[in-house]
Structure 1
């Protein structure tokens, strides 16, 4: 199951950063979202749909297996629950306005493919890991790291890569723990190789609780020790490698030569909270927050898509010959004539438009349609350097900005700024998450 979830998050994020397709336009669509990081991600494909379908298909494969010992009535109930689960997730992504039909369709197809691979080759892969040599294990880890290295760089500051790195670390840790435990004398070879010898009747409830508590404490200790240690140790190493020309930096990640130290309180890990965050979590459980209704662009990809949509409407307005001159944004392909252009001759569209007569290339049209704006963040966001955990934008009065809504500058000023990310965080995530998953396994 870990392989399925890790593959779903990694490969859906891989495709998101490869195609860089934004979420559905808002407005006219109104988004209902609770996560600030999700709003900064691209929309194609839907990761939620991928994970839901992959887990459900694999679970249905197990329920319909001839080896199942479950009663027929319970089996039918569980199968119905799985269908309801997938339907609610997929429809929920459409209802919340976070994805379009194409996003969830491809997400479902990707999830079904991942589940098919797991059903077909999962047992053989697990057996290879358990019975393989150390060289085979290192080869598997190397392949995972290669996928991390070739992960596409997005056009905008999308956090998909962070999630992909985290789940790649989980996969590495699971393989290491699975292989290592199978080599010890504690593991059983039945019903499958590497089985943990556990029995509630034999161990007892008290020892089971102590065992689970000790495992949780080890996970917290690993994260609390390794993360700050790596953030202090790695920057000097990265600076040395950078001088040797061995660093392959990623866009949107600050290089070690550009900072002195990494802040100690990076909000990049919400899976395992800090001990100091536990009171806040308990308070949020007792007093749940209301859903956040978001209207308008929430990321740079959204803003550029909105500008392209407006430009398309302006073109249609001109081609249809509507009365009045449509407003033209800065950087539009329909740029007013300069003095030099006016001397060359009148525009074929007449004095009414006053537009450049030169036909632009497809590349120029695309670049202009996508806008030429630069994000401008509010002073408080720039000062903190952090993005909010919840996006709750109040719908703006369109009359305040004109019939088309906020202009380009206002649009970019309302976009939340992702926090500063450091190059050493990639290695840190891989090591910390691999250690967590090893303890869990």
Structure 2
């Protein structure tokens, strides 16, 4: 078999040249009903942008940049995945399991909607993107998963605190609640301040978080007993439900990592359920406060042993991840080629089929949930200097690039059609039929522009202009008080581009964004297995190891 260079594979070509298609990218890539919903919501994203830019201009300071860049990490999957196992090892099984359920639901639902609707983040420029995550800007914007996670966790924690006020000193009772409120507000407002999300994104994300938090409070106790204390059939049903949810996750129009995050948390849920069912039947577990709880008492264990067991547990997780992933990358491709030949494979967009490659190279940036051990020093350095690499301006993903092109083309049409009175405020773009029977692109048609969307505040106009000059394209039209000359845009350049100019502009924008790495079909199953193992280690494997090596409570509890 001839080895295919992934960078030259045909699947990668649209990432650079997709902007050169004659048809509207999303109208082509999405089912009609999904595209219709997207067309209804995209004007809101564009309408929000100038107001977000004004807010960012008015509030930005170096200190706030550092604060919101740093605190954004407290709403990421990585933060939760690093600290969640510690809850299980310290006896807070009920709280840890609730966190897993809420975060997994939040990541899956928000990722499902992101890939279904393919709505971009607010336009940059005029907004600066402030983020320490290299992958966040590659995702779609709607809804905000940070907001979903923050609200669900804060709501659940505040409810649990208020349900047992007698356990806290009055001042501590108020202070802890205020801390969780501040946490949620900081995360939500920080997404707006950092230019990573718009108002619609954080509002819908917060509503989803509230629904998930309420759902956990209503049904959490049932889930805590239905699987650990139930027959194996309950466990099998839960596994099948998770696998079905992974399968029905919608295909995105661009190479977006939302699906990867959903798969990772689906794997964690699988491992948590299997581990809880097994550990509940282990002689080392206790039923206080719920089944499959790890016995823990700081008075009995002591701080030294408590710290050592956390270190050992984290090391075991990294060893599992570092050893299992390479092994699966060697074992799974031949199996996937057999499945592909008999048509039993389940191909997914932007993932390279096993028949197209012979081996998988060492992957970088292939995990947005738990970093590799080698990446930890770099991450700690970034945490120490959160503003050093956090600010960027300009398209960072394919979705950004398409939205930038759509914005420029719309402004060009407005600069021409407004002179002739051809664009009424309520006009809506619909694909037109050309002489050859194909659909005309949006560049050749009209698109709905909401009232006020074309009135850009001065800071936005100047920042768009500056970035356009830096890019060397300078074609975005900006509303001014003086009408432009016929056939010129507001920046004094040709408003109507030749096909060659249009193609060059698209190529230039797509060449400036970071090219997504090649993704392999075996990664989906690999993530499920690796993260299921991490979940199992958190609730069963490591607690049994602690007992064996003398870091447990020192006694075997008989059920």
- Is TM (by shorter chain) over 0.5? yes
* Pair 1:273–1:305, CA change in 2 (3 A): closer
Q: 1:104 aligned to 181, 199, 202, which one?
A: 202
- Relative to structure 1, is the Cα distance of residues 74 and 368 closer, same or farther in structure 2, using a 3 angstrom cutoff? farther
What's the Cα RMSD here? 2.9
Deviation, 1:21, is 0.4
1:235 deviation in Å? 0.2
The answer to which of 176-185 and 306-315 deviates more is 306-315
Distance in 1, Cα, partners of 2:346 & 2:446: 29
Q: Is the 8 A contact 1:39 1:299 kept in 2?
A: yes
Q: Residue in 2 aligned with 1:116?
A: 214
Residues 131/263 of structure 1: CA separation in 2 closer, same or farther (3 Å cut): same
Q: 1:395 to 1:271 in 2, by over 3 A?
A: same
1:143-165 deviation digits (Å, cap 9, x = unpaired): 01111111011000001111111
Matched positions, count = 388
- Matching residue of 1:146: 244
In structure 2, runs of 5+ residues without a counterpart are 1-98, 422-429, 448-465, 478-503, 540-559
Alignment match of 1:227 (pick from 312, 320, 325): 325
Equivalent residue for 2:349?
A: 251
Q: Report the 3-state secondary structure (helix = DSSP H, G, I; strand = E; otherwise coil) of the residue aligned with 1:422.
A: coil
| TM alignment of 1:165-244, pairs within 5 A | 165-244=263-342
Mapped pair 1:313 → 2:385: no
Structure 1 segment 30-429 matched on structure 2, within 5 A: 30-66=128-164, 69-269=167-367, 271-281=369-379, 283-284=381-382, 290-321=388-419, 364=440, 366=442, 395=467, 397=469, 400-404=472-476, 407-429=505-527
CA distance in 1, matches of 2:473, 2:321: 48
In structure 2, C-alpha distance between the alignment counterparts of 1:173 and 1:90, rounded to whole Å: 30
Between the aligned partners of 2:151 and 2:204, the Cα distance in structure 1 is: 11
Q: Which of 105, 110, 115 lines up with 1:12 in the alignment? A: 110
Residue 74 of structure 1, CA deviation: 1.0
The structure where helix makes up a greater share of residues is: 2
Preserved contact between residue 311 and residue 369 of structure 1 (Cα < 8 Å): no
> Partners in 1 of 2:365 and 2:414 — Cα distance?
45
1:407 Cα offset (Å): 2.7
Q: 1:314 to 1:278 in 2, by over 3 A?
A: closer
Q: Aligned with 2:197: secondary structure?
A: coil
Distance 1:333 1:74 in 2: 61
What is the CA distance between 1:287 and its match in structure 2?
A: 5.7
**What displacement does 1:55 show?**
0.6
Q: Secondary structure at the match of 1:138?
A: helix
Residues 385-420 of structure 1, C-alpha deviations (whole Å, 9 max, x = no match): xxxxxxxxx945269423428932211111111111
Which whole-Å CA distance do the structure 2 matches of 1:233 and 1:60 have between them?
Answer: 46
Q: Any gaps of 5 or more consecutive residues in structure 1?
A: 324-331, 336-355, 372-393
Superimposed CA distance per residue, residues 174-193 of structure 1 (whole angstroms, 9 cap, x where no aligned partner): 11111111112222223322
Deviation at 1:282, TM superposition (A): 5.2
How far off is 1:200 after superposition? 1.7
Checking the alignment, whether the CA contact within 8 Å between 2:224 and 2:290 is kept in structure 1 is no
Distance 2:269 2:519 in 1: 23
Q: Distance in 1 between matches of 2:288 and 2:315?
A: 30
Is 1:148–1:164's contact at 8 Å kept on the other side of the alignment?
yes
Q: 1:276 to 1:257 in 2, by over 3 A?
A: same
1:319 deviation in Å?
A: 2.9
Deviations 1:78-129 (A, max 9, x none): 1111111111111111111111110111000110010010011011111111
Task: Find the residue that maps to 2:419 and give its secondary structure.
Answer: coil
Q: Deviations over 1:257-295 (max 9, x none)?
A: 000011134432365444444554555556656143322
- Check whether the contact 2:398–2:510 (CA below 8 A) recurs between aligned residues: yes
SS of residue in 2 equivalent to 1:421: coil
Q: Which moved more, 1:21-30 or 1:200-209?
A: 200-209
